[in-house]
A and B are shown apart, each in its own frame.
Chain A
Amino acid sequence: MKRRNRLGSRALMALVFLFLYAPIFLLIVFSFNKGNSNIVWTGFSLDWYKSLFQNRLIMRSVYTTLLVSLLATAIATVAGTFAAIGFYSLRRRTRTALNTVNSIPMMNADIVTGVAMCLFFVAFFTFWGDFSVWFNSVQRVVVLPERLTLGFGTLLIAHVTFNIPYVILSVGPKLRQMDKNLVDAAQDLGCTWMQAFWKVILPEIKPGIASGALTAFTMSVDDFIISYFTAGSSSSTLAMTIYGMTKKRVTPEINAVSTLLFVTVLALLVIVNLREARAERSGEERRPVSRKLTQMLDTPKGRVFRRGAAVVLTASFLIAVVLLTGATNAQPVVNVCSWGEYIDEDLITQFEEETGIAVNYQTAESNEALYSLLKSGAGDYDVIVPSDYMISQLIEEDMLAELDYSRIPNYGLISDRFKGLTYDPQERYTVPYAWGTVGIIYNTSMVEEPITSWSALFDDRYAGNVLMFRNSRDAMATALSYLGYSLNTTDESELREAFQLLKDAKNRGVYQSFVMDEIFQKLEGGNAAIGVYYAGDYLTMLENNEDLAFVVPEEGSNWFMDAMCVLKNAPNYEEAMAWINFIASTEANLANMDYLWYASPNQEALEQYPAYYEELYEEELGQEAYDIIAAPQEVLDRCEAYLVLPLETRKLYNDLWTELGI
């Protein structure tokens, strides 16, 4: 009986560890996969690590991450150590209270800390703007930067802030363990207070400082949420970049970088734990102590020291804030916010070399996320690349600046078909970036006949094998198309009819699940027969599963256009024009079309792409494939772009979606 229990508890233990580590193990294994699938193992290779190190965006965010982590660790360690000494020299009751205050930020939800900091910074910048305008107007000796933005400076401040408590927490106990007479003894033997600090206190609390610093560094590297809200447009940490990249799918490149991140953090943790274990083994118990530092710090010199240290720290902190937040405006720069994996990154290098303008390339994960970033004031970008309906909404809310088309001669290369579309009929705000269609992707080995209609998505024959969009607009669009209604209908009865169709199918068990990026795994792995997604992504899946086919259903579908826009009050308007013109060129469009497998709006690029492909890969690009990337006009004719919906319709979408209960 006893034996069995032990076996049971061991099995339970094994299960716990399996759940904890199997996902990470899987991720590490697939970072060495030759192919780009996370399901199908095609052989060992280090290609993803190689391409990782060539990925500008990632390497840049690694640099940012390391820089911010190291700086924040250094500052937080110094500040936290002094704070701990300050706490230590206080009366017990005050100290306990302060320790509680200190531990609140650690227990507080990151999201709250992040949002609070973001709000605080934005409020401070507003105040600073008013102040510096006034200050610059009354004197001319010092010119203060009038416009501060979220950026590396604020990111650093945020990291320092959330790191300090960890340092205090780790140094405090070391101080309390220290023999209370050590400082007296050092002074007795000829040390001044400062000498006693360096020669006696510091060696004693060094292990605490070291593990505090390591913890802080780990926290910094690890942090996503707080960084996300405080980094602004010009900086991106590794975690933020990875998050942006997962917008489409988890590529093995992300596996590779995650593996490296995991190994780094693991190594740091091992070091911390080893240190502690060693300290425990060698450290004989020392007497708990009260504080003689009180008396030290209360001597006249101690007070001078205390005040001096406070002044120096505060001053350097303030100077750092202004310098770092102001410094972002020093060299010509353009802040671009696009989607993950939505540009051939060589273009960025090329642009920088040609123009001398530095590109801060950021990514958002969806139109809605971008919109809320802009609204919160955290998204301080110059150029953004929203989709059609979002552009309408931004124009409606007067958030976009008119473009100076005289500086964008390449606009002339854009096919007339894609000019003056409904979202920007007067051609004042946008330059098209890429476009594509939505269609059905299906596994030919799992269906009886080629699929041509949306009916397949509501067909009981495929029950349990269909993947539906996990967002209301796209999911409703499939039903609306099937019923022959406009994708932009505001008619409640039409919408309710479409909804009923979806709901019935769901209740009958047609849908295996509602997905976004998980569709790659499911379809590539043959776990589902039918899905609905973007044409360009189908071609990616095809590389891993040759049985897949794509169709834009006969009833019509959604086609989308992403276009470059400039935000109102963009700090770098000139540079933004240069960037847009560069991206609109035929060369850039060819490179992007090849990278994205989304269609270019540039007429020359559209025409030249098959030849470009052939030259690059030494094989012909079939007409079929080309038509999937760039749907022919007759397909486009039966498709419809999204328009921004009126508020009440949006509300109805929300209500229906809630009722569906995904």
Chain B
Amino acid sequence: MSKELIRLRDLCMAYDDELVLDHLNLYINDKEFLTLLGPSGCGKSTTLRIIGGFTAPLSGDVLFDGVRINDVPPYKRQINTVFQKYALFPHLNVFENVAFGLRMQRRPDPSDPKRKTKLPEEEIRQRVLEMLEAVSLKGFENRRTDALSGGQQQRVAIARALVNRPKVLLLDEPLGALDLKLRKDMQIELKRIQQQVGITFIYVTHDQEEALTMSDTIVVMDKGTIQQIGTPEDIYNEPKNAFVADFIGESNIIDGVMVQDKLVQMYGRQFPCLDGGFSENEPVDVVIRPEDIDIVPVEQGQLTGTVTNVTFKGMQYDIIVDFRGFKWLIQTTDHSPVGARIGIKIDPDGIHVMKKSRYSGLYGDYSSFSDEYDELDTVEPEEGGDEA
């Protein structure tokens, strides 16, 4: 499980003098489900394209099994890709799309090892049918690809890549074009497939929920650099900086001062917490997840504020509360009317303290909160190296 398969060393990449990858270092283990997560333009797709061999880095190395593969063209890498919008060949039917890679393959002729031969037709047929069955597309062989639904096209694309038995599968926002329900189903399906075939998946997405659901490891990227690498739990519970905290889930990020280990001060008030290892009175960012806040009567509250907005979300209410001009998001099952004065209480394990970074002060205030913002965030177009 922990054998290293791919290593990226000091990768730099720029389009039109704009740095997209800034000395990126990363290793990827065999059989790992690794997700590159970040907003548009963070360099995640470029990283994927470099691994796939479609783009050459300006500098830095790509190692595969310890061998440098910078100059190996894509068609010689043991890597296959599932592209954004699938990139199925429109002039071929489902069967031929899946068989495409196999038809391109040559291997030494058993009778004359010097000669290379094509794979026998029977073997191709068998492998394609097996693969179609594995992605639940049995019986679709002769369909035109444009007659398939989005989810079916998606599965053809996966089958087309996996039938070549690659060591690594690259997936570039493969679920972006699907509707929400299908996306959730496909997340589970992809994870199942990955466990079934037992190879490395490198997955690119800007959807944090997708990343949290499927990944063994998440790599959070922004502006061409890695912000944090870790398991979904690590990333969610212990974000390294304000960017990660904001990008993964909802976060209230408040300026604070670390009074001493396990005691942080916000709004002039001290809160017990579980973090330590900071210098005395070091300014810090404090992350408080909306669901970790309890609403209590004003007199019992550690802080008191005014409710300015309430949105019913089904399982809970999203409440925006003004604490001296800084607006917090609180998720609770209890309804509080707009204008009500409320108190809040935060348990020590609901407080996460981070060192100050260049992202401090940029995130965590919900003054401009609205549902539409959330929606926009999920349909944001991906950067495709379209530098023009």
Interface string of B80-95 (1 = CB under 8 A from A): 1101110111110000
CB of B75 within 8 Å of the partner chain: yes
CB of B384 closer than 8 Å to a CB of A: yes
A292 within 8 A of B: yes
| A203 adjacent to chain B (CB < 8 Å) | yes
User: Would you call A184 an interface residue if the criterion is a C-beta within 8 Å of the partner chain's C-beta atoms?
Assistant: yes
B85 close to A192 (CB less than 8 A): no
Is there an interface contact between B83 and A190, defined as CB atoms closer than 8 Å? no
CB of B315 closer than 8 Å to a CB of A? no
Chain A residues, Cβ within 8 Å of B84? 181
Contact A188 B52 (CB under 8 A): yes
A290 touches B101 (CB 8 A): no
The answer to whether B267 has its CB under 8 Å from any CB of chain A is no
Residue A195 interfacial (CB < 8 Å):
yes
Residue of B nearest to A195 (CB): B104
Residue among B90, B100, B384 making CB contact with A189, cutoff 8 Å:
B100
Return chain B residues, CB-CB under 8 Å to A295: 54-55, 385
- List, in ascending order, chain B residues with CB within 8 A of A181's CB: 83-85, 87
Q: A301–B161 Cα gap in the complex (Å)?
A: 24
Q: Is the CB of A185 within 8 A of B388?
A: no
CA distance A204 to B161 in the complex (A): 21
Known: A188-B75, A189-B80, A192-B73. A287 touches B105 (CB 8 A): no
B380 interface residue, CB < 8 Å from A?
Answer: no
Q: Which of B180-211 contact A (CB under 8 A)?
A: none
B386 at the interface (CB under 8 A from A): yes
- The chain B residue with its CB closest to the CB of A90 is B388
Chain B residue nearest to A203 in the complex (CB): B91
Q: Do A299 and B52 contact each other (CB < 8 Å), given the known contacts A91-B388, A182-B87, A204-B90?
A: no
Q: Is the CB of A185 within 8 A of B87?
A: yes
Known: A190-B104, A192-B75. A299 touches B56 (CB 8 A): yes
Q: A187-B75, A295-B54 are in contact. Are A290 and B87 (CB under 8 A)?
A: no
Contact A184 B388 (CB under 8 A): no
**A503 interface residue, CB < 8 Å from B?**
no
> Whole-angstrom distance from the CB of B166 to the nearest CB of chain A?
9
- CB neighbours of A187 from chain B (8 A): 53-54, 73-75
Collect the chain B residues with CB atoms within 8 Å of residue A91's CB: 388
Residues B101 and A190 in contact, CB atoms below 8 Å apart: yes
Distance between A209 CB and nearest chain B CB, rounded to angstroms: 13
User: Does residue A284 face the partner (Cβ distance < 8 Å to B)?
Assistant: yes
A191 cross-chain contacts in B, Cβ below 8 A: 75, 104
Name the residue among B84, B87, B88 with the largest chain A CB count within 10 angstroms: B87
Q: How far is the CB of B385 from chain A (nearest CB, A)?
A: 8
Q: How far is the CA of A188 from the CA of B172 in the complex (A)?
A: 13
List residues of chain A with CB within 8 A of the CB of B331. Answer: none
Cα A203 to Cα B96 in complex, Å, equals: 14
**Do residues A179 and B87 form an inter-chain contact, with CB atoms below 8 A?**
yes
Nearest CB on B from A181, distance (A): 4
Q: Does the CB pair A184–B83 fall under 8 Å?
A: yes
CB distance from B108 to the nearest CB of A (A): 16
Contacts of A179 in B (CB 8 A): 85, 87, 90
How many residues of A are in contact with the other chain, CB < 8 A?
Answer: 29
B381 to chain A, nearest CB (A): 11
Q: Which of B52, B74, B80, B88 has the most CB of A within 10 A?
A: B74
Q: Which residues of B contact A200 (CB under 8 A)?
A: 89
Partner of A180, one of B146, B164, B384: B384
- Would you call B54 and A182 a contact (CB within 8 A)? no
With A and B bound together, what is the CA distance between A290 and B85 in angstroms? 14
Question: A92 at the A/B interface (Cβ < 8 Å)?
Answer: yes
Residues on B with C-beta less than 8 A from A93 are 388
B90's nearest neighbour on chain A, judged by CB, is A204
Contact check, A188 vs B85: say whether CB atoms are below 8 A apart: no
CB of B31 within 8 Å of the partner chain: no
- Does any Cβ of A come within 8 Å of B289's Cβ? no
**A259–B130 alpha-carbon span in the complex (Å):** 60
- Please measure, in the bound complex, the distance between the C-alpha atom of A263 and the C-alpha atom of B320, giving whole angstroms: 76
Q: How far is the CA of A566 from the CA of B152 in the complex (A)?
A: 78
> By the criterion CB–CB under 8 Å, are A189 and B104 in contact?
yes
Contact B91 A184 (CB under 8 A): no
Query: Shortest CB–CB separation between residue A304 and chain B, in angstroms?
Result: 13
CA distance A446 to B81 in the complex (A): 90
The answer on a CB contact under 8 Å between B54 and A290 is: no
Closest residue to B106 on the A side, CB-wise? Answer: A190
Closest-CB distance, B218 to chain A (whole angstroms): 24
Chain B: minimal CB distance from A472 (Å): 62
Shortest Cβ gap from B349 to chain A (Å): 45
Chain A residues, Cβ within 8 Å of B54: 184, 187-188, 292, 295
Q: Do A182 and B89 touch (CB < 8 A)?
A: yes
A190 touches B105 (CB 8 A): yes
The complex places the Cα of A301 from the Cα of B71 at a distance, in Å, of 11
Give chain A residues whose Cβ lies under 8 Å from the Cβ of B87: 179, 181-182, 184-185
Report whether B83 and A204 are in contact in the complex, using a CB–CB cutoff of 8 Å.
no
Alpha-carbon distance A189/B87, docked complex (angstroms): 12
Min distance, Cβ A39 to any Cβ of chain B, angstroms: 55
Contact with B along A196-237 (1 / 0, CB 8 A): 000110011000000000000000000000000000000000
B83 touches A189 (CB 8 A): no
Q: Which of B350-388 contact A (CB under 8 A)?
A: 384-386, 388
Is the pair B55, A290 in contact by a Cβ cutoff of 8 Å?
no
Among the listed A203, A287, A301, which residue makes an inter-chain contact with B73, where contact means beta carbons less than 8 Å apart?
A301
Chain A residues with CB under 8 A of B164 = 189-190
Nearest CB of chain A from residue B136's CB, rounded to whole Å: 22
* Known contacts A184-B81, A188-B81; is-contact A92 B388 (Cβ 8 Å): yes
Q: Does B160 have its Cβ within 8 Å of any Cβ on chain A?
A: yes
Residue of B nearest to A190 (CB): B104
In B91-149, the 8 Å CB interface with A consists of 91, 100-101, 104-105, 146
Q: Which residue of A lies closest to B163 (CB)?
A: A189
Bound Cα distance A211, B85 (Å): 28
- Contact call A290/B384, Cβ cutoff below 8 A: yes
State in angstroms the CA–CA spacing of A188 and B105 once bound together.
12
Asked if A185 and B104 make an inter-chain contact with CB atoms under 8 angstroms apart, the answer reads no
Specify which chain B residues have a CB less than 8 angstroms from the CB of A188 in the assembled complex.
52, 54, 74-75, 79-81, 161
B85 smallest CB distance to A (angstroms): 6
Q: How far is the CA of A91 from the CA of B52 in the complex (A)?
A: 24
Whether A284 pairs with B101 at a CB distance below 8 angstroms is: no
Give the one of A189, A286, A295 with max B CB within 10 A. Answer: A189
Beta-carbon nearest neighbor of B91 in chain A: A203
Q: Cβ of B85 and Cβ of A287 under 8 Å apart?
A: yes
Contacts of B385 on A, CB cut-off 8 Å?
295
| Nearest-CB residue, chain A, relative to B81 | A188
**A185 with B73: CB separation less than 8 A:** no
> Taking each of A92, A184, A199, A290, which has the highest tally of chain B beta carbons within 10 Å of its own beta carbon?
A184
- Which residues from chain A contact B100 at a C-beta distance below 8 Å? 186, 189, 199
Residues in B whose Cβ lies below 8 Å from that of A301: 73
Q: Are B160 and A189 in contact (CB under 8 A)?
A: yes
Cα A199 to Cα B92 in complex, Å, equals 10
Binary interface profile of A, 167-193, with partner B (CB < 8 Å = 1, else 0)? 000000000000111101111111110
Residues of A within 8 A of B104 (CB): 189-191, 195
CA–CA, A181 to B55, complex, Å? 13
Given known A-B contacts A190-B75, A191-B75, A185 and B89 have beta carbons under 8 A apart: yes
B residues apposed to A, CB below 8 Å: 52-56, 73-75, 79-81, 83-85, 87-91, 100-101, 104-105, 146, 160-161, 164, 384-386, 388
Query: What are 23 residue pairs bridging A and B, where the CB atoms are less than 8 Å apart in the complex?
Result: A180-B384, A181-B84, A182-B87, A185-B87, A185-B88, A187-B54, A187-B73, A187-B74, A187-B75, A188-B54, A188-B74, A188-B81, A188-B161, A189-B75, A189-B80, A189-B101, A189-B104, A190-B104, A203-B89, A287-B85, A290-B384, A299-B73, A301-B73
Closest 9 CB pairs of A and B: A190-B104, A181-B87, A189-B101, A185-B87, A203-B91, A181-B83, A187-B74, A290-B386, A188-B81
Given A91-B388, A92-B388, A188-B75, 18 other A-B contacts at CB below 8 A? A179-B87, A179-B90, A181-B83, A181-B85, A185-B81, A187-B53, A188-B52, A188-B79, A189-B101, A189-B104, A189-B160, A190-B75, A190-B105, A200-B89, A204-B90, A295-B54, A299-B73, A301-B73
